[in-house]
Chains A and B, each alone.
Chain A
Amino acid sequence: MTRFSAFVQKEFRHILRDRRTLMILFGMPVIQVLLFGYVLTNEIKNASIAVLDPAKTEESIALTNKLVSSGYFQLEQNLVSQEELDRSFRSGKIKMAIVFPSDFIVDPSKPSSIQLIGDASDPNTATSLIQYANAIIADFVQEKAQDTGMASNQLTIRTETRMRYNPEQKAVFNFVPGVMTLILMLVSAMMTSITIAREKELGTMEVLLVSPLKPVQIILGKTAPYLALTLLNALVVVLVGIYIFGMPLKGSILLLTAECVLYMFVALSLGIFISTKAKDQMTAMFISALGLMMPTMLLSGFIFPRESMPVPLQVIGSAIPATWFNPIIKGIMIKGTGLDVLWKQTAVLGGMAIFFLAVSLRNFKDRL
C-alpha cells in the first residue's frame, strides 16, 4: 500500500509541477463552459438598425421607440433616402432596416404596411431580427387597440419582409466565408508553428542558425511553401462555394485574392510567433488549436453573432483576425463591396500582420 501511495504521490507531483498540463486540465473546462454559456445563445441584443421614415407621424415615432426600447435593437441611423439605405447595408453598418410608408397611420379605416429589410448575408441573425421586429409590431398594435377600445382584429399593420443579398437565406452564405477564415488560419498558422517547432525539437534549427542563412531567410523559407498551399486551399473553398453551393462572387476577384494573402500573412506571422514560444510540436499544436482555432470558430461571428456576446468577449473577439476577415469575404463575395468600404478591416489586418511579424522576428533567435 505504501508503495502504491508513494507512486500516486509521484504522479501528483508530475501533474502539479507541469503547469501547462495543469492549465489545460483546469483552464480548459472553465473556459469552455464560460464560452459556450455566453456565446451559445442565439438571442441577439442591440442589433444596429436604421429607420427610413419620411412621414414621421406620431405613430411611426412611437413604434420606432418601442422597437428601440425593447433592447433588441439600437437605432444606428435615421435614413432620408433609399440610396442611403443601400449604402448602409453595403457598409455593414446595419443589420436591419425599417421602412415606413409616407402616410403611416394606424387606423381601422386603412391597414398600413411596413417593410422590414434584413441583411441575409448572415441569414441566422437576419431571420431572428425580423422575428423580433414582427413580434414587437404585433404587440404595438395590440396595445394601440386596447388604448382606443377597439377589437384587436380591427387594427392591422402589415409587414413585408425583404432579405437583402441572400433572398433564399442559404446558410452556406454564412459558412463558406466562415470555413475559409478557419481553414486559412488552420493551414497557415498551425502548420507554420508546428513545422518550425519541429526543427527546434529535432535540433536541426541550431544547425540552420549556425549556417550563413539569416533568420529572416529561415522564416521565409519555412513559410513560403505553406503560403502557396494555403492560397490553393482558399481557391478550392471559393470554387466549392461558387460551383457547388451557388454562392455569388459579386466583387473583384483580385481584391479577394489580395485580402486572402493579407489574412494568410497574419496567420503565418501568428504561427511564427507561436513557434518562438513553443519548444516542441505538441505544444505548438495545442497553442494553435486552443489559441487560434477555438476563438476563430466561437468569437469571430462565424457561428454565433457577435452582437449577442457580452462586451468582454466582443473585445477579445476584435483581437481575432477572422473577425475582420469574415466581413471582408462576405462583403466582396455577397455584396460586391470594394476597398472604399473595407479599408478599415483591411487596415486592421495589415496592422496585425506587421505587429506579429516584427515581434516574432525579434523573438526568433533569442528563444532558441
Chain B
Amino acid sequence: MSTIISTNQLTKTFGAFTAVNAISLEVNKGEIFGFLGANGAGKTTALKMLTGLLTPSSGSAMVAGFDVWKQPEQVKKRIGYMSQKFSLYEDLTIRENIRLFGGIYGLSMSDIREKTSHLLQKLELEKEAGTLVKSLPLGWKQKLAFSVAMLHDPKIVFLDEPTSGVDPLTRRQFWELIYEAAHRGVTLMVTTHYMEEAEYCNRLSMMVDGSLVALDTPGALKTQYQAKNMDEVFRKIARG
C-alpha cells in the first residue's frame, strides 16, 4: 500500500491557544480515514491545513506526493473538498453548479456535459437539473455536494462533517457514495462526531485538545479499550 498523505509534527497555534499539536500520521491510498473528536478538538483545523486553507505554525505535510505549502497548485488540482457549511451555490441550479465547478477545475465543455448527465443519472436528479439548489432537501444537497467535489476525479477528498444535520437513512446513503469512491481508489479523509460513522472508516484517529491520542482500525481500538462500540472507546479516551 502506498502512502498518499503524510504529516510530520503538524502544529497550528492561534496566539497562546494550540489548536493542533504536533500531529504525525500517514494515510494510505484508497483508505477511508476518519478524524474523530469532540467539537473544538482540532479536527477541522487539521483538515484546513491539509487542504491549504490554513498555514501551519510548524511542521509539514505531503498530500498526493506534493508539499502542501511549497507546491499548493499541484495539491489543489488533486484534491476535492466538502466544507462543514454547504459547499454549493443555493441560488444556482444543479446544472449551473456542476458547470461552475467543472469549469473551475479546468474540465473541457464536453467533459462537463458528459459528467453532468452521468452524475444526474446516478443521483436520480435528471428531472431536477434546472431547479435551484436551495429548493432541494438537505440530504440530496449533501449527496450532490459530494458528487460535485468528486467531479474532477481527485485522488483525495476531504470531507468536513459531511453528514451533520442529516437523517440516519440519508447518512447511510451518503456513506454508500463514500465506499464507492474508495473502491475506485480515491482516498477519503472524513471528520465526524457521529460514533456510528466511525465504524465505517478503515482507520480512525482520535483527537483530544489538539493532540492525536489514538490511531488504529475501529476493531483494534475496541479491543485495546475493551469497549463494545466506538462510542465507549471515545468516552474512555476522552476521560483520559
Contacts and interface: CB of A to CB of B under 8 A. Distances in A.
Interface of A: 202-204, 206-213, 368
B86 A210 contact: no
B239 interface: no
B106 A203 contact: no
Interface string B68-82: 000001001101011
5 contacts: A202-B86, A203-B84, A204-B87, A206-B48, A210-B51
B48 to A, nearest CB: 8
B105 interface: yes
A287 B231 CA distance: 46
Most B Cβ at <10 Å: residue of A202, A207, A368: A207
Contacts of A207: 81-83, 87
Contacts of B87: 203-204, 206-207
B88 A204 contact: yes
Interface of B: 48, 51-53, 73, 76-77, 79, 81-90, 101, 104-106, 158
Nearest to A202: B85
Nearest to A368: B53
A362 to B, nearest CB: 13
Given A210-B52, A210-B76, A210-B79, A204 B104 contact: no
A1 to B, nearest CB: 36
B230 to A, nearest CB: 28
Contacts of B81: 206-207, 210
Contacts of B82: 207
- Helix, strand, loop or mixed for chain B's interface? loop
B83 A211 contact: no
Contacts of B158: 210
Contacts of B90: 202
Contacts of B101: 211
| 8 closest A-B pairs by CB | A203-B85, A210-B81, A207-B87, A212-B76, A206-B83, A203-B83, A210-B51, A211-B104
A213 B83 contact: no
A222 to B, nearest CB: 13
A211 B53 contact: no
A213 B106 CA distance: 10
B53 A212 contact: no
A205 to B, nearest CB: 9
B84 A213 contact: no
B104 A213 contact: yes
B84 A208 contact: no
A62 B36 CA distance: 89
Contacts of B73: 212
Contact of B106 (A208, A210, A212): A212
Given A206-B53, A368-B53, A212 B85 contact: no
A208 B51 CA distance: 11
A204 B53 contact: no
Nearest to B78: A212
A202 to B, nearest CB: 6
A208 B85 CA distance: 13
A206 B149 CA distance: 13
Contacts of A208: 104
A212 B48 CA distance: 15
